[in-house]
Structure 1
Amino acid sequence: MKCLLLVDIQNGFCSGGNLAVPGGEEVVEIANQLTAEGGYDLIVASQDWHPADHGSFASQHPGSAPFEVGTLGGKPQMMWPDHCMQGTVDAEFHPDLDTSGFDHIQRKGMNVAVDSYSAFRDNDHMALTGLSDFLAKQKIDRLDIAGLATDYCVKFSALDAREMLPDVKVRFIEDASRGITPDGVKQAIDEMVRAGVVVVNSADVLAEADGEVRTVTSAGRSSK
């Protein structure tokens, strides 16, 4: 059972968004191809869904500026611009992203008192989103992860998947993801690899899916 997790491909993280990732919109076409041709049994997407007064917003801390490190809940916290606020265009999926095949949308970041980079749990690890239980019930054995941003929400989602779904092979699709800084991306990939995440690209995934279809067809059964 193969699952694709698309992380936070939202207007807020693409050009013109409140927290744009350089080249963020470039992943949309690749994501669409993966959902259509990647041979996945399950497509899941995460969505940042912050209340307007979320504690990670610099605007909620007088004297703070975006991208400064402050505190939230007594722990260090990067202060972000207001982004992906519930019900706003900024929080919507990119308009060119094909959402018609999504089987499950996991919203996150709704607790004003803690940030939530991972699609699986809050940053303090005190509250789960429910995604790990959902995927376990689907009996997936492979989870491919892509989206925005590599050095934050994608990385933490991949690391949590490795820890919370220990029997699942977790892969990071590098060319279907974009990060905030080159150094941050490199460090994130190194950290994921050390944790046992396999790095692939979309061509690998599509070639695998094509091979599986050809094998099934040659065996005389209808392809997926």
Structure 2
Amino acid sequence: MDNEFKPALIIVDLQEDFCPPNGALAVAEGRSIAPIINDLLRLPFVKKIATKDFHPPDHVSFASNHPEPHNKPFTSFVTIPNPNNPNETHTSRLWPIHCVQGTPGAELIPELDTSLVDLVIEKGQDSRVEMYSAFEAPFRHPIVKEASSKLAQSLREAGVTDVFVVGLAMDYCVQSTAIDAVAEGFKTYVISEATKAVDPTEQGWKKTEKECDKAGVKFIALAGEELAKVRSMQDV
């Protein structure tokens, strides 16, 4: 077994507000991936992390926090400046209120076996910035340290080399988390059967795959060689 192979599992935002039947931003069939993820949690990953959107009520991504007429959930957009550099901006879609701190919608779904999770990261707590990635807000000049989740630090402290990303939603927070994982220097994979997309059409899925591939993220299957390497660690 490769002694330098230290894989981690990151479960992105498997929360009530992202799942049917009552989620404010429910992803179709979002709950259905929980059994697959629980099976993955039983594998010998050196670190098993779940992330949560954990927004304050005044979060910039909520359409209701913006003036009319440009405050329609799903169809309106807002240009957000870097709090530490107004010349750097990010344009983001506005959403319904979701995953507010202390509300049922922010909770991880009960189908997820959290007893097997080592660490829960609460992201998106800085009301000034959108944060799809579980690592950082989408600003680099400079990084918004106040919004940082410290996820990269947790992975490095565990000696992680490879990151396997699952959860919700494939074309938003899973994609951004995986791309940032590559940027942080980790070999990064998205497990296709363990994620669901907001846009599940062939066009939407392929677009995300292409963007991930360009960034160095590899989409893999449960039966692929990458997870076989993780499973083989059980025999060491």
TM-score normalised by length of structure 2? 0.84
Identity of aligned residues (%): 35
- Name 2:162's counterpart in structure 1: 142
Q: 1:50 aligns with which of 48, 55, 63?
A: 55
Q: Per the alignment, in what secondary structure is the counterpart of residue 71 of structure 1? A: strand
- Name 2:206's counterpart in structure 1: 186
**Contact map agreement 2:7 2:230 (CA 8 A) in 1:** no
**Contact map agreement 1:147 1:154 (CA 8 A) in 2:** yes
Distance in 2, Cα, partners of 1:189 & 1:87: 34
Point out where structure 1 has 5 or more consecutive residues left out of the alignment.
Answer: 217-224
Q: Per the alignment, in what secondary structure is the counterpart of residue 27 of structure 1? A: helix
1:100-134 deviations in Å (ceiling 9; x for gaps)? 11111111111111110000001234322211112
Distance in 2, Cα, partners of 1:188 & 1:69: 21
Query: Are residues 1:100 and 2:145 paired?
Result: no
**Contact map agreement 1:47 1:108 (CA 8 A) in 2:** yes
- Name 1:219's counterpart in structure 2: none
- Name 1:169's counterpart in structure 2: 187
Q: 2:99 aligns with which of 84, 92, 110?
A: 84
- Name 2:85's counterpart in structure 1: none
What is the number of equivalent residue pairs in this alignment?
Answer: 212
Query: Are residues 1:157 and 2:177 paired?
Result: yes
1:209, distance to aligned residue in structure 2 (A): 4.0
**Contact map agreement 1:120 1:157 (CA 8 A) in 2:** yes
1:160-205 deviations in Å (ceiling 9; x for gaps)? 11011x2x21111111000100233221111111222121122336
1:77-121 deviations in Å (ceiling 9; x for gaps)? 201010000011100001110001111111111111111000000
**Contact map agreement 2:170 2:197 (CA 8 A) in 1:** yes
Q: Write out the 4+ residue segments of structure 1 that deviate beyond 6 Å after TM superposition.
A: none
1:33-77 deviations in Å (ceiling 9; x for gaps)? 1001x2212101111000112111111113211102321425422
Query: Are residues 1:197 and 2:202 paired?
Result: no
CA root-mean-square deviation: 1.6
Q: Per the alignment, in what secondary structure is the counterpart of residue 202 of structure 1? A: coil
- Name 1:35's counterpart in structure 2: 41
Distance in 2, Cα, partners of 1:203 & 1:81: 37
Point out where structure 2 has 5 or more consecutive residues left out of the alignment.
Answer: 1-5, 82-89
Q: Per the alignment, in what secondary structure is the counterpart of residue 167 of structure 2? A: strand
- Name 2:76's counterpart in structure 1: 69
Distance in 1, Cα, partners of 2:52 & 2:23: 14
**Contact map agreement 2:47 2:155 (CA 8 A) in 1:** no
**Contact map agreement 1:19 1:83 (CA 8 A) in 2:** yes
1:131-166 deviations in Å (ceiling 9; x for gaps)? 1112112111111001100100000001111011x2
TM-score normalised by length of structure 1? 0.89
